[in-house]
Chains A and B, each alone.
Chain A
Amino acid sequence: MNFSQIAQLLVLGMAPLGAGSYALCRAKARPERFGGAKFHSPSWYYGWYGFLWAFLPPLLLAVASWILRLAGLRPAPDWVLMALAMGLGLAGLVYAHRSVNPELRARNSVEGVIHWTLRMSSVLSILITVGIVSSVLFEALQFFSQVSLWEFLTGTAWSPGTAFLGAAGRETEGVAKPLFGSVPLFAGTFLITAISLLVAVPIGLFAAIFLSEYASLPMRRIFKPALEILAGIPSVVYGFFAAITVSPWVVNTAQALGVRADYTNALSPGLVMGVMIIPFVSSLSDDVLNAVPMSMREGSYALGATTSETIRRVLLPAALPGIVAAVLLAFSRAVGETMIVVMAAGLRPNLTWNPLEGVTTVTVRIVDALVGDQAFDSLETLSAFGLGLVLLVFTLILNVISAYIIRRFRQKYE
């Protein structure tokens, strides 16, 4: 069965059947029909018992047949399967209805099913991770079977442009060999990320200090959500802003200073991305500053220190692990950011430290490789998964480290 057939079966067949089963079984579970005997569970549990017996067997059959179909197997024609599913449901209904009697522990059965559902859904989140890791890993392995990992990690030229010829079996036609040296992409990513951290860390940290140490309560109530808005603005909007407003401004300023700047320079996406991640630095830093016990502040004041001395000499060292974790989170966020760089950074792999030149990043190349008309198994498409794997591993490491630091920090002061 395919997806729409299952949906039809669900809405037209199984849902009415289940509802009918619920009504029948619940109606039967009345003491007067059993000579006034007391039922084990409240009557609606018998209703749900009936519903589950009529609903779950056809559902399991449908899912099983769907999985078989994905695996390329079709055990029987669709209409047979559908009829079988409805037959199973009907049989379940009859069985459930016949077994309704005062001794039946309907509540235990129904809650058992609920427990299993809960357990299954929490396991699903592991499946998602497994899905992400395996989908990226599997395609990336295919890529690395054709391009050596060493060349990928140390090569300084990225020009996958002719990879499609290889896929078409025409790699010997005298065109340049496709090159997959990712160093310029990572250099570009880190250049833009470094610019954004240069913006976000000082502003975010000082903003957090202001919010937690200087601001009055009403000011805090206004400014804290206002800062959070910055993180809520979609990145495609920031990208447009970077490309339309900031880039021309950077180019004009550079010109006025007598320096040449590319229209797609690294500075404008870096600046805009820096603003975007300010809230990541500020709200976590604000939290950790607030978590530093009041007694430490009071001890410092009692020795005659000013507010700023207290902050610099007592609070910041105490909150340092948390602040480091906040910066790491902002860092991982900036590395994985896509739309701003797609719209405002260039496509040209460029190994440079000059922020006024165009550079390209890992995420830009992933998008570029997958948005074109390449066949799915072409080397260029696969290269996107290779880059994705590196991105995944990198951000995971950053997240694990920052989560570890935060946990240690909490233990220290709680």
Chain B
Amino acid sequence: MSIITETAKKRLGSRRRAEKRFKLYSRLAILVAISFLIFFLYDMIRTGYPAFTQAELLVEVSYSEESMEIGQLAVDEEMERLVSRGFLRIIPMRMQADPALLGVTRDEWVLAVAEVDQYLKGKPNRLREDERETVQRLQDEGRVKMAFNTGFFVNGDSKLPEMAGVWAALVGSAYVLLLTLAFSFPVGVLTAVYLEEFAPDNRLTQIVEVNINNLAAIPSILYGLLGLAIFINFFHVPRSSALVGGLTLALMTMPVIIISTRAALRSVPGSIREAAYGIGATPWQVVWHHTLPLALPGVLTGTIIGLARAIGESAPLLIIGMMAYIPDAPHGVTEAATALPAQIYTWSTDSQRAFTERTAAAIVVLLAVLLSMNALAIYMRNKYERKW
């Protein structure tokens, strides 16, 4: 006779089923999160990918006396509505720069207007029926091609979707990144060194520590309010400039750098410090010659991760006015500038449909930048970090 009774068997069965269910839930949770991530990335790339190619039309351009005055007259009336105004606008300038062009009539590959581009990509557009027929005819004649969209990477912002690019925003982001690094890295590392290696354990040190942890958790938009009230209104740093953006984001990044630097310093074993003290080094020499160099990979990893977060931040930038319309890359840190996330926001609020795919394309660029920064951090951690 078995010692396991019927009821016990039943109970065992239900317990096993409960176990399976629970395991299933936990698997499902991770599956949901990961599949969201995959779908999300797929959706961004799918929406943004078309923006990397752009329609161009082979159009007869006549550089005549009239078109020197009014660029629109250089092309057929029928074509005028299909060709980007951005191209027609520069015809007079081109002719002034090169007088030999006068009287020349030739076929040129010219940027099409965004509506044509959208039509050719099979997206909703506002082309009239006759315009669609013209585009169709041009396509049959082989006068339409989808070219790689170089303009997207070399142009600044524009009201014409086909002319808009991320270059100005990239330059702005680069300025902001460098300034953030310049302000937050030295102060952050010095603070961490002080707290970890020099600070006496007193009330003030405790306040500083609690304070830094709180700073790391303050919503980013409040840093924007700080930037507006203190940097712009009190210190009169120019509004919308990369300088005020860099300062604001530096304050946001500093706690991250402090926390990761402290962790890196803490992981350096005490025996190294003691050996250095043993041969007569001063506290500063111990830090500068031994502890800090050994902790450097961890410090840099934390810094890169903090910077990656800063470069994707946009809420404080909106508050300090870095979402301005910037058609040209800024030439200095006090000029009005925009950053990539702010550019994404500006484009996403534009009512023209053609901006949707550009927004997604800018997102793909931003994600690529962030991914390479994080990959660099992980590579450095794996390559240089030592386990003691």
Q: Which of B44, B221, B323 is within 8 Å of A338, CB to CB?
A: B221
Contact A392 B23 (CB under 8 A): no
Tell whether B379 is near chain A: CB-to-CB under 8 Å: no
Contact between A229 and B44, CB atoms less than 8 A apart = no
Task: Name the CB-closest residue of A to B236.
Answer: A70
Tell whether B27 is near chain A: CB-to-CB under 8 Å. Answer: yes
Distance, CA A405 to CA B6, complexed state (A)? 46
What is the bound-complex CA distance between A121 and B29, given in angstroms? 44
Could you tell me which B residues sit within 8 Å of A by CB distance? 15-16, 18-19, 21-23, 25-30, 32-34, 36-37, 40, 43-44, 47, 186-187, 190-191, 193-195, 198-199, 207-208, 210-215, 217-226, 228-230, 233-237, 251, 254-255, 258, 282-284, 308-309, 312-315, 318-319, 323, 334, 341, 344-345, 348-349, 356, 359-360, 363, 366-367, 370, 374
Using known A-B contacts A135-B229, A234-B313, A392-B222, determine if residue A206 contacts B26 with beta carbons closer than 8 Å. Answer: yes
Tell whether A370 is near chain B: CB-to-CB under 8 Å.
yes
The answer to whether A338 touches B220 (Cβ under 8 A) is yes
> Could you say which interface size class chain A belongs to?
35 or more
The answer to whether A210 and B282 have CB atoms under 8 Å apart is: no
Looking at A245, A306, A391, A400, the one whose CB has the most chain B CB atoms below 10 A away is: A306
Please, how many angstroms separate the alpha-carbon atoms of A136 and B193 in the complex?
30
A125-B212, A244-B356 known; A236 vs B34 contact (CB < 8 Å)? no
Identify whether the interface residues of A are mostly helix, strand, loop, or mixed.
helix
Assuming the contacts A223-B30, A227-B33, A363-B315, asked whether A396 and B15 have C-beta atoms less than 8 A apart, the reply is: no
Q: Which of A118, A139, A367 contacts B221 (CB 8 A)?
A: A367
Indicate if the CB atoms of B363 and A131 lie closer than 8 Å. Answer: no
Nearest Cβ in chain B — how far from A149, in angstroms?
19
CA distance A305 to B366 in the complex (A): 49
* In the bound complex, CA of A55 to CA of B208 (Å): 29
Residue of A nearest to B195 (CB): A122
Name the segment of A82-90, A93-101, A107-115, A159-167 touching the other chain: A107-115
Chain A min CB distance to B344 (Å): 5
Instruction: Given the known inter-chain contacts A203-B32, A223-B34, please indicate yes or no for A388 contacting B208, CB distance below 8 A.
Output: no
Cα A206 to Cα B23 with chains together (Å): 9
Q: Does A237 contact B363, Cβ atoms closer than 8 Å?
A: yes
Shortest beta-carbon distance from B10 to chain A in Å: 15
**Which residues of B lie under 8 Å from residue A209 when comparing CB positions?**
26, 29
A384/B211 contact (C-beta < 8 A), A306-B15, A336-B219, A339-B314 known:
no
Q: Is the CB of A376 within 8 A of B207?
A: no
Q: Which residues of A contact B210 (CB under 8 A)?
A: 403
Return chain B residues, CB-CB under 8 Å to A353. none
